[in-house]
Chains A and B, each alone.
Chain A
Amino acid sequence: MKKILNDPFAYVDETLEGLCLAFPQYYERTGGGGRVIKRPGLARKGKVGVVTGGGSGHLPVFTGYVGRGLLDACAIGEVFASPSVEQMVDAMRAADGGAGILRLYGNYGGDVMNFDMAGEMMDMEDVPSTTVRLADDVASAPPAEAAKRRGVAGMIYAFKIAGAAAEAGLDLAGVTRVAQAAADACRTVGVALTPCTVPQAGRPTFTIGEDEMEIGMGIHGEPGVRRGALRPAQAIAGEMLDMLLADRPIASGQRVSVLVNSLGATPPEELFILYRDVAARLTGAGASIVMPLVGRYACSMEMAGVSFTIITLTPELEKYLLAPAECAFWRV
């Protein structure tokens, strides 16, 4: 293992400590064991709280997107492990402004079990809450089993749009409806070139040949749909776009946003090389691209690889996507 760290078992806590030291204007630690990050100060009265949670190792996901017009609080687990029920309850309490809470997170078994239970506990305290789960990874299950899909980089769009809807003063039902519409409108596919190493495990999460790539691999190294020889950028982009557009065809005149995301080690240069083909293909299909995102938005530590996310926009989704928002990793 070649990593910069002190103690693998302190990896998450030391990360959060540094994050809050660097950006106290955005992040404050709270909750049992300091495993909740919230916006500084009190939850805004009358605003729906938007809460997420998940494992560490994905920064800026999840906790980086706590901020104005984005998330109110985030429960943080060990690297690639679900936060506890208690941490989720703490995050929901931290985000409670009296108008209810939206739990907005990726569709993974442990997170679902724990967030469902945390929601039941908040019910007991008479705090209403709702759930929207991201299931945007088209490679993780066929369309007939879309509810089983994992949540990946599409959650950036859902965080942004739900956060803006809450900031705009929509009630819990309204924020939930908008968040669900955003989640439903996202499709993502990834490609991995190299694995990453979980500090406490000390070994790469999978092995892959020097000249190989795996299309559809998940952000924790879950198996993808095809492993083969590494191909030129244009061919990789073509195969990924084929998968996305087959799953959710785009009509001429459709307004979309697109995220070309590094899984960690892939540099911006390579993302821009890919973006040329993404833009050409989408505009060629008659789509108009709104606010494209190119960069490191949802990572798997030092994994090399990329993901593409396309979100088809309605006027309402576009309005909330373009609304002001601010965190340490992203400003709109």
Chain B
Amino acid sequence: MPLTVPVLAAGLSRIAAHMETAADSLNTIDGQLGDGDLGVTMVRGGREVVKALPTLPADVGMALMACAQAFTRASGSSYGTLLATALLSAAKATKGRTEVPWTEVPALLQGALDAMIARGKASLGDKTVLDALNAAIEATTGKDDPAAMLVAAAAAVDATLARMRNEPAHIGRARIFADRSVGLDDPGQVAFREILRGLGA
């Protein structure tokens, strides 16, 4: 079965449910380097998205846009804006279609990555969510089974977290604590891992 709005809605509601339990640890991780509200951002964003699910249109692109709008309603944080940017990029690429083949997902994620780089002015290697997303793209390219894609993406994101843990952050608020960020996971990367965990729940 290809990616349709019912499939999308089911996945988003699993992610939102998972965020309710992952929030505390996300807040703690974020609090070591930032203002400690990343878990709150994800929970509130997830709740707004869940509220939007019953009225999603069948057009995958317009459904993704409604989710992006819902996410921005909850949060003005930069992470929230970046995730909404990713959703909006995929929305533009899928507008007018009710089915999207899974083989196209890595390209949609690549478009999202490019849009996030353009909007957030960070680069690959800065120890941000971008590195995790990039690893997921590399791991899923060429695959067509969603379950296998998810397993590969999760493993690649775990490997990225492990590889970058001992590097300093290069951008954003965490950069101010560059030395302190050595040995700590990037909160944005961890949040992305939690998104994948929720999707697989």
Listed in ascending order, the chain A residues whose CB lies under 8 Å from chain B are: 32, 81-82, 84-86, 89, 110, 113-114, 116-117, 120-121, 123-124
Contacts and interface: CB of A to CB of B under 8 A. Distances in A.
B45 to A, nearest CB: 12
Nearest to B48: A86
Contacts of A89: 69
- Listed residue (B76, B81, B84, B88) with the most chain A CB atoms within 10 angstroms of its CB: B76
B76 A117 contact: no
A117 B71 CA distance: 13
Interface of A is mostly: helix
B62 A84 contact: no
B69 A121 contact: yes
A86 B119 CA distance: 17
Interface in B69-127: 69, 72-73, 76, 81, 84-85, 88, 91-92, 95, 119
Contacts of A82: 76
Nearest to A120: B88
B61 interface: yes
A32 B73 contact: yes
Given A84-B72, A124-B61, 14 more contacts: A81-B76, A84-B76, A85-B69, A85-B84, A86-B72, A113-B81, A113-B119, A114-B76, A114-B81, A117-B81, A117-B84, A117-B88, A121-B88, A124-B65
A116 B81 contact: no
A86 B76 CA distance: 10
B38 interface: no
A116 B85 CA distance: 10
B68 interface: yes
12 contacts: A81-B76, A82-B76, A85-B81, A85-B84, A86-B72, A113-B81, A113-B119, A117-B72, A117-B81, A121-B68, A123-B92, A124-B92
B158 to A, nearest CB: 30
Interface size range on B against A: 10 to 19
A85 B73 CA distance: 8
Given A84-B73, A124-B91, A124-B95, A117 B119 contact: yes
A114 B76 CA distance: 9
B119 A116 contact: yes
B29 to A, nearest CB: 24
Contacts of A113: 81, 119
Nearest to A85: B72
Contacts of A84: 72-73, 76
B89 to A, nearest CB: 9
A321 B173 CA distance: 43
Q: Which 8 A-B pairs have the closest CB atoms?
A: A85-B72, A86-B73, A124-B65, A84-B76, A86-B72, A120-B88, A84-B72, A86-B69
Contact of A120 (B62, B73, B76, B92): B92
A193 B81 CA distance: 36
A32 B91 CA distance: 22
Contacts of B65: 121, 124
Contacts of A121: 65, 68-69, 88
